[in-house]
Structure 1
Amino acid sequence: MSAPIVKLFTQPYFAWLDIRKEEEAHPRHYLAHLLLLALIPAVCLFFGTTYVGWSLAENETVRLSTHSALQLCVLLYLTIVAGVVVIGAFIRWMSRTFEARPTLNQCIGFAAYTVTPFFIAGLAGLYPSRWLAIAVLAAASAYSTFLLFIGLPTFMHERKEQGLLNAACVWGVGLLVLVTILVTMILVWFNVLTPEYLRAPVG
Structure 2
Amino acid sequence: MILNHIWGLYTHPKDEWQTIEKRHESLTYSMIHILVVALIPTICGYYAAAHIGWTIGVGDPIKINQSSAQLMAVALYCALIVGVLALAYLIQWMAKTFDAKPSFVQSLELAAYTSTPMLMVGIAALYPVLWFVALAGVAAVCYSIYLLYSGVPIMMNIPEEKGFIYSSSVVTCGLVLLVGMMAFSAIMWSMGFGPEYIS
TM-score w.r.t. the length of structure 1 is 0.91
Distance 1:2 1:62, change over 3 A: closer
- Residue 43 of structure 2: aligned partner: 43
Q: Does 1:109 align with 2:82?
A: no
- Residue 174 of structure 1: aligned partner: 174
Q: Deviations over 1:18-52 (max 9, x none)?
A: 222332x5344211110100010000001111111
Aligned residues: 198
- Residue 184 of structure 1: aligned partner: 184
> How do residues 56-95 of structure 1 correspond to structure 2 at under 5 angstroms?
56=56, 58-95=58-95
* Cα offset, 1:57, TM superposition: 6.8
Q: Secondary structure at the match of 2:128?
A: coil
Quick check: which one's strand share is greater?
A: 1
- Residue 8 of structure 2: aligned partner: 7
Identity value in percent? 32
* Cα offset, 1:132, TM superposition: 1.1
Distance 1:35 1:9, change over 3 A: same
- Return the alpha-carbon distance in structure 1 between the equivalents of residues 142 and 56 of structure 2: 28
- Return the alpha-carbon distance in structure 1 between the equivalents of residues 22 and 190 of structure 2: 43
Q: Secondary structure at the match of 2:101?
A: coil
Across the aligned residues of Structure 1 and Structure 2, the Cα RMSD in angstroms comes to: 1.6
Give yes or no for contact 1:3–1:15 (8 Å, CA) kept in 2: no
* Cα offset, 1:56, TM superposition: 5.0
- Return the alpha-carbon distance in structure 2 between the equivalents of residues 61 and 171 of structure 1: 34
Give yes or no for contact 1:43–1:73 (8 Å, CA) kept in 2: yes
Give yes or no for contact 1:64–1:197 (8 Å, CA) kept in 2: yes
Give yes or no for contact 2:56–2:130 (8 Å, CA) kept in 1: no
- Return the alpha-carbon distance in structure 2 between the equivalents of residues 145 and 112 of structure 1: 13
- Return the alpha-carbon distance in structure 1 between the equivalents of residues 52 and 190 of structure 2: 21
TM-score w.r.t. the length of structure 2 is 0.92
Q: Does 1:118 align with 2:144?
A: no
Query: Which consecutive unaligned segments of at least 5 residues does structure 1 have?
Result: none
Q: Deviations over 1:118-146 (max 9, x none)?
A: 11110011122210121011101110110
Distance 1:50 1:13, change over 3 A: same
Query: Which consecutive unaligned segments of at least 5 residues does structure 2 have?
Result: none
- Return the alpha-carbon distance in structure 1 between the equivalents of residues 54 and 80 of structure 2: 23
4+ runs deviating over 4 angstroms: 56-59
